[in-house]
A and B are shown apart, each in its own frame.
Chain A
Amino acid sequence: MSKPIIATTSLAGCFGCHMSILDIDERILQLIELVEFNKSPVDDIKTFTKPVDIGIIEGGCCNSENVEVLKSFRKNCKILISLGECAIMGGLPALRNGIPIEECLHEAYINGPTVQLNKTGIMPNDDELPMLLDRVYPCHEIVKIDYFLPGCPPRADLIWDALVALITGDPMKLPYEVIKFD
């Protein structure tokens, strides 16, 4: 039987969840034995080259590109996992939710304390740039998500336990210490 295939991505996240995947330490060697990675920053494969079994999403959706990537993951992956607080509930980027987008942009590019060289008040509006959404969306508000692994970042043990359970078909054990929201 061929190995299960995994893809990962980071949307509006900080790559901390990916760091936590790496934090499974020497078990990463076992993981490579168990699975094959497809599209992922881990192996730098940029596009899906085959159907994927498990897609792991870090980060929520703050712009149109996030939405598109998330939708392509849903299309190419049998199982989708929201990994970490940002994917699950927007996380820190979602602190802007509730504030009108105009106000956010004004603060970021014109009024903010770190803005120094934008005297003419230019806004980034190149057609190549992703378009900002009115708020940051948790992934499951855009596509169907099958599993949720909370944490900021999720504990490496939680990621390991969950992945092994999914790959082997065993039930997830998930001890108390590994489910945390921070």
Chain B
Amino acid sequence: MKNTVKQIVEKYGNDKTRLMDILIDTQETFGFIGQEAVELLAHQLGMSQVDVNQTISFYHFFSTKPRGEYAIYLNDSAVAHMFGRQAVKEAFEKEVGIKFGEVTADGKIGLFNTACIGMNDQEPAAIINNKVFTRLTPYRVREIIKHIREGRKVEGLINESFGDGKNQLPSLRAMVSSNIRRKGMILSDDYVYGSVTRDILPKMSPEAVIAEIKHSHIRGRGGAGFPTGLKWEFCRRAKGEKHFVLCNADEGEPGTFKDRVILTEKPELVFEGMTIAGYAIGSDEGVLYLRYEYRYMKEYLEQVLAKMRAENQLGKNIGGIEGFDFDIRIQFGAGAYVCGEESALIESLEGKRGEPRDKPPFPVEKGYLNQPTIINNVETFATAVRIVQNGGEWFTQFGTEDSTGTKILSISGDCMFPGVYEVNWGFNVADMLNMVGAYDVQGVQVGGPSGTLIGPDEFHRTLGYSDLSTGGSMIIFGRQRNLLKDVVLNFMEFFIEESCGSCSTCRNMTQVMTNKLKKILNGKGVAKDLDDLKQWGKVLQASRCGLGQTAGNPIISSLKNFAPLYDALIQKDKDFDEGFDLVASVQNSCKYVGRVPNFNHH
């Protein structure tokens, strides 16, 4: 083990900031990162063991204990539950003979829950040894477990009828479907990749590129909506030894999967966008930060990068521009929603826990390795290529005045045709529901759990930065769903699990609010509880990052838009009930001492 660990650390130049790669390699080599490995890593890197452990313990997919030769991670998102997760879970437990959270005695199979893996349009889905298995049913579970027991390798578990589009390429060969339902400028096939870098960039100065991006009025597609052109301009002006281009592909907002589709179908467009950004801000290094759930795309994306290098789309003097060097590497995360926050992503990229940074300073001034850095979403980079190709003015004809261009939506839940839809900004919710075949809709979660849950009286609202802002996640809930129990509670538990814990507010208030929600769901709620939730939720506004500030939104927005659901659960005859239950609270002690509870004689 000693030599192997040493080799891994040396592969990354004994560099502490590459700890994520070092840990991923260690985990994939040994199946887990045990105490011995931690000691060796700490020694080799000159860190204390607790310091190594603090990064390991932050990420869901790192483990200090064996997780089984076949580690099965079953998605636990609300939509997975809507499409039969319970039956699939029970089938796994029955077939494997253990509960979730356990590993079989022979160390062969481990069962684990995991947060949304970006397959909401094809749930229930699971990740087994970095391969994704979608549309699971109890029958399919039996088959998979049988094949595992027969000793098949993970590739052998993929059945004959797998994915669509580029998911069928030998280099990808994933069970995943891209489900592209509507194409616009990004997903269309009329752009020949590389033509901007080859034909247009050599004729433009970096400043001119930024001017076009600014003129297009494009705003960040990740959800926060910062003007992209300004970001690039600030970064270009910032002084540093080196500038960096980071692509945020940590798509962790439950219900979002469009970045997965863009990276599957149009990876060259994304990489070309990063290259253009590199030219604009004066950077020679780009990093694609990809969530570990998409590890199955590793070989495929690396082949794409290799091909682009061979074609001089990456490398030195790109497009014949003297001195324009740019290359891209892929950095994987290891399971942490908060790393989608740009400064947390940078921390993770530096080998640390993904705790958001205090701002200012912003990444454009001090980002990755304290150097000026831009971070943009996958979709933003892809869009940038079309803007530079056709000009900023051309771009503004799409969408609305304050939300120009197109938006790729990830639509899932109760509808006929879940998948990816590229639409012009300004689309309204009612049209969207008609487009995807959603009938008898109770509510739509716009922008994922951190966004807003709206009901039918708000379906006239439009998608855009000034009305319903969204990173693209749209989850539809039909009339038959129990919104509070099956959706709001699931989302709150997601936030509890995914809080980095750094801020006292987000670390604790999510739990406090969820406890109260559970109390209401258990029929112990009183009217005061609803007021408390509204008041208490405000405390989250004092959190450092967007995750923390929005972590109460499932409750806050459902209280606002679905008040009757709460009112129906509230006890009308009581104004005080803190949930104390005398009968339940004496049960264990009576049983242990051997007496029958008696409430009559005091």
Chain A residues proximal to chain B, CB less than 8 Å: 64-65, 67-68, 100-102, 105, 123-128, 130-135, 137, 140-144
What is the chain A residue whose CB lies nearest that of B580?
Answer: A142
B579 contacts which chain A residues (CB < 8 A)? 141
Please determine whether B582 and A100 come into contact, CB atoms closer than 8 angstroms.
no
What is the chain B residue whose CB lies nearest that of A123?
Answer: B593
B512 interface contact, C-beta 8 A: no
Given known pairs A101-B588, A143-B576, A144-B576, the reply for A64 and B593 (CB within 8 Å) is no
Q: Which are the 7 A-B pairs with shortest beta-carbon distances?
A: A123-B593, A132-B589, A131-B586, A125-B593, A125-B595, A144-B576, A141-B578
B416 interface contact, C-beta 8 A: no
Please pick, from A105, A126, A133, A140, the residue contacting B585 in the complex, using a CB distance under 8 A: A133
CB distance from B579 to the nearest CB of A (A): 8
Chain B residues proximal to chain A, CB less than 8 Å: 576, 578-580, 582, 584-590, 592-595, 597-599, 601-602
CB distance from B369 to the nearest CB of A (A): 43
A130 contacts which chain B residues (CB < 8 A)? 602
B598 contacts which chain A residues (CB < 8 A)? 127, 131
Please determine whether A102 and B602 come into contact, CB atoms closer than 8 angstroms.
no
A93 to B463, CA, bound (A): 55
CB distance from B236 to the nearest CB of A (A): 55
A144 contacts which chain B residues (CB < 8 A)? 576
A127 contacts which chain B residues (CB < 8 A)? 595, 598, 601
A142 contacts which chain B residues (CB < 8 A)? 578, 580
Apart from A101-B592, A102-B592: 16 A-B pairs, beta carbons within 8 A: A64-B602, A67-B580, A102-B588, A105-B592, A125-B593, A125-B595, A126-B595, A127-B595, A127-B601, A130-B602, A131-B589, A131-B595, A132-B586, A134-B586, A134-B588, A142-B578
Please determine whether A131 and B588 come into contact, CB atoms closer than 8 angstroms.
no
What is the chain B residue whose CB lies nearest that of A138?
Answer: B578
Total number of residue pairs linking A and B with CB closer than 8 Å: 60
B597 contacts which chain A residues (CB < 8 A)? 131
Please determine whether B592 and A133 come into contact, CB atoms closer than 8 angstroms.
no
The contact sample of 16 A-B pairs, CB cut-off 8 A, is A64-B602, A101-B588, A101-B589, A101-B592, A102-B588, A102-B592, A105-B589, A124-B593, A125-B595, A126-B595, A127-B598, A131-B586, A133-B582, A134-B584, A134-B589, A137-B580
Please determine whether A131 and B590 come into contact, CB atoms closer than 8 angstroms.
yes
CB distance from A19 to the nearest CB of B (A): 27
A125 contacts which chain B residues (CB < 8 A)? 593-595
B588 contacts which chain A residues (CB < 8 A)? 100-102, 134
B586 contacts which chain A residues (CB < 8 A)? 64, 131-134
CB distance from B591 to the nearest CB of A (A): 9
B593 contacts which chain A residues (CB < 8 A)? 105, 123-125
Please determine whether A67 and B592 come into contact, CB atoms closer than 8 angstroms.
no
A142 to B579, CA, bound (A): 8
A67 to B584, CA, bound (A): 13
A144 to B593, CA, bound (A): 31
B580 contacts which chain A residues (CB < 8 A)? 67, 137, 141-142
Given known pairs A64-B602, A127-B598, the reply for A140 and B592 (CB within 8 Å) is no
What is the chain B residue whose CB lies nearest that of A137?
Answer: B580
A141 contacts which chain B residues (CB < 8 A)? 578-580
A124 contacts which chain B residues (CB < 8 A)? 593
Please determine whether A133 and B589 come into contact, CB atoms closer than 8 angstroms.
yes
A133 to B592, CA, bound (A): 12
A128 to B599, CA, bound (A): 11
B576 contacts which chain A residues (CB < 8 A)? 143-144
CB distance from B480 to the nearest CB of A (A): 36
Q: Which of B578, B589, B597, B602 is most buried by chain A, counting CB atoms within 10 A of its CB?
A: B589
CB distance from A129 to the nearest CB of B (A): 8
